[in-house]
Structure 1
Amino acid sequence: MDIIDSIILGIIQGLTEFLPVSSSGHLELGKAILGDNSVPKESLLFTVVLHFATALSTLVIFRKDIYNIIKGILKFQWNDDLQFAVKIGISMIPAVIIGLLFEEELESLFSGNILLVGLMLLVTAALLFLADRAKDTQKPVSFANAFVIGISQAIAMLPGISRSGATISTSVLLGNDKTKAARFSFLMVVPLILGKIAKDILGGELTYEATNFMPLTIGFIAAFVSGLFACTWMISLVRKSKLTYFAVYCAIVGLIAIIYSFTS
């Protein structure tokens, strides 16, 4: 993998992890456009590095929230911070179950299945379109809401379903405040990303060569910086009900991907 490829894929990951357009779907499309040789055997390591970069950007943006959550857990008082941490834990349950039981089946979907990506992008577009028309309320995310949103996160393991799009849309459609919905959506994925990274490291599935250092570093920086921008921007967009633009984008890219899958 050369430097240009690592920058492109890093920016794609950083932007699409937070913007509701499916990071996994765009990475699959990016690999298809750049060619199979652009992401060789170190693909898993590169993917892990990019995901760690976006998780780190989330930690930076929400550092005050995370500090309060950790403080609430350590005090072990049933306050808003501890309740929020419990809700995060509840939201993780569906994704953890699906990830453990169907890991191989899910991985098989990430093999250049452009048709599936296109179809799932259309689903993402529909969710965003509906969410943008939902009435904004002041309702916080409840414990029951957290589990339902967690189901959306599990479904978003499919390439082409935007995780942020699915979780934020579900939260908004449940009547939650849009800003709180975005905050919950971005924070709920951090433990899953860090857990998956730990699993890959402990499982010995990652391989590293000295020649990978520069592309990995450049990709990490590109994903981290673009992630900081996208996360901040997305919070503003959700608050202002601007998701329709992304719905149109996902519909267009989805249709292009479907056409490409039949003509390539």
Structure 2
Amino acid sequence: PAVIVGLQFQKQLEDMFLGNIVLVGFMLLVTGLLLFLADKAKDSQTKVSYSNAFIIGIAQAIAMLPGISRSGATISTSVLLGIDKTKAARFSFLMVIPLIVGSIVKELKDGHISFDSAQLIPLSVGFIASFLSGLLACTWMISLVKKSKLSYFAIYCFVAGLIAIAFTLLNAQ
């Protein structure tokens, strides 16, 4: 679902990121609410079925809105579907890979990314470094989600969302 939304509404989504801090604030509140509800859900051993994967994919597509955390939306949706937190976090990080690869392919195809042979070594080093740091970050996040409560992340989103909204409203005068 995220690929379809991204391809169909790329320009509109990009425009939403331009100075729309109130929207970001409200979407952070939505993310916080999702995380809070997921934290209250009962753990079960539900597997990631095709229908669950599709629903989680819809959550990932919605997370293209500024302020909606992609991992927060997908992990929360998974947990609300009965998938345990560890599996939910792993699945969340796996399902972003096709989006990243697809985005790179599209950018290359559209000519937005180009490089010559002299840039191959620095690009390769950068790719390897970002891949390894990404693996480390994913491992750390899975461990964090497994050990802690999603409500801690919810509180962060609530505070950040309220600050964004208050900042915008106070500076509008």
SS in 2 for 1:236: helix
TM-score normalized by the length of structure 1? 0.57
| 1:22-52 CA distance string (max 9 Å, x none) | xxxxxxxxxxxxxxxxxxxxxxxxxxxxxxx
Structure-2 change in CA distance of 1:222 and 1:167 (3 Å): same
Deviations, residues 52-84 of structure 1 (Å, cap 9, x unaligned) = xxxxxxxxxxxxxxxxxxxxxxxxxxxxxxxxx
Aligned partner of 1:178 in structure 2 is 85
**Which one of 33, 37, 57 corresponds to residue 130 of structure 1?**
37
Q: 2:6: which partner in 1?
A: 99
Q: 1:193 aligns with which of 91, 96, 100?
A: 100
Counterpart in 1 of 2:119? none
Query: Is 1:118 equivalent to 2:53 in the alignment?
Result: no
Q: Does 1:243 align with 2:157?
A: no
RMSD, aligned CA: 2.7
Report the Cα distance in structure 2 between the residues aligned to 1:179 and 1:151, rounded to whole angstroms.
20
TM-score normalized with structure 2 length: 0.85
Q: Deviations over 1:120-146 (max 9, x none)?
A: 111111111111111111221111100
Whether the 8 Å contact between 1:121 and 1:161 is mirrored in structure 2 is yes
Instruction: Verify the 8 A CA contact 2:35 2:151 in the aligned structure 1.
Output: yes
5+ residue gaps, structure 2:
116-122
Q: Choose the corresponding residue for 2:47, options 120, 128, 140.
A: 140
Unaligned runs of 5+ in 1: 1-93, 209-215
Q: In 2, distance between residues paired with 1:225 and 1:112?
A: 32
User: Using the alignment, how far apart are the partners of 2:140 and 2:48 within structure 1?
Assistant: 21
| Offset from partner CA, 1:159-190 (integer Å, 9 cap, x none) | 11000000010010001122111111110110
Please list the CA deviations of residues 176-211 of structure 1 after superposition, one character each: whole Å capped at 9, or x if unmatched: 122111111110110111101110111012367xxx
Identity of aligned residues (%): 70
Q: Across the two proteins, how many residue pairs are aligned to each other? A: 168
CA distance in 1, matches of 2:27, 2:20: 11
| Mapped contact 1:131–1:169 kept (Cα < 8 A) | yes
Cα deviation 1:232-258 (Å, max 9, x = unaligned): 222122223421111111111111111
Q: Secondary structure of 1:176's match?
A: coil
